[in-house]
């Protein structure tokens, strides 16, 4: 089974909330990504069947929003906000420091599959720039040393 019974029940409940099935697609994608770590082609096919749309339509949504990934991700997602306020306060240097520290480029996953490093256009925490999101947790007002300590603490 590509999508667990629990996730399928969540998706069905979301669909019931909307006048058109498609309205629940974003919620379904979040649920599937949480369950599988990414939106792989099999999951896209399963979602296409549930929503009665073509798989390419699911892919279009996945590729449009940067919070979804069509590529296998590490156990932890580390995303540095690189929008203007964060960049003005050193976010680009933060990304470069993490790249050097982890030995990978932004967009890549460490060889042990522990961390996927990336950047996002805006995480909505401009007052506390620069900041990064680690999985679902925001870390704010960072410098490179603090960012490296945070990723080192990830198991």
140, 125 contact by CB (below 8 A): yes
At residue 87's C-alpha, the angle toward residues 146 and 129, to 5°, is 50
pLDDT in tens, the chain (155 residues): 799 999 999 999 999 999 999 999 999 999 999 899 899 999 999 999 999 999 999 999 999 988 899 999 999 999 999 999 999 999 999 999 999 999 999 999 999 999 999 998 888 899 999 999 999 899 999 999 999 999 999 98
At residue 124's C-alpha, the angle toward residues 121 and 130, to 5°, is 75
Mention every residue, 6+ apart, whose C-beta is less than 8 A from residue 99. 105, 106, 117
CB burial of 59-93 (b: ≥16 within 10 Å; e: otherwise) equals bebbeeeeebbeeebbebbbbbbbbebbbebebee
């Amino acid at each position: 089974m590509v999508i667990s019974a629990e996730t399928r029940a969540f998706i069905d409940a979301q669909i019931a909330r909307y006048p058109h099935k498609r309205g629940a697609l974003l919620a379904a994608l979040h649920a599937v990504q949480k369950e599988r770590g990414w939106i792989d082609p099999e999951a896209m096919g399963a979602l296409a069947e549930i929503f009665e749309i073509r798989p390419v339509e699911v892919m279009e949504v996945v590729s449009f929003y940067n919070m979804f990934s069509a590529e296998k991700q590490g156990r932890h997602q580390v995303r540095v906000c690189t929008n203007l306020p964060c960049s003005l306060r050193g976010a680009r240097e933060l990304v470069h420091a993490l790249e050097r520290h982890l030995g990978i480029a932004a967009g890549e996953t460490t060889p042990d599959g522990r961390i996927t490093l990336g950047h996002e256009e805006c995480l909505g925490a401009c007052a506390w720039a620069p900041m990064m999101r680690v999985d679902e947790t925001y870390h704010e007002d960072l410098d490179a040393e603090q960012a490296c300590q945070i990723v080192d603490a990830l198991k």
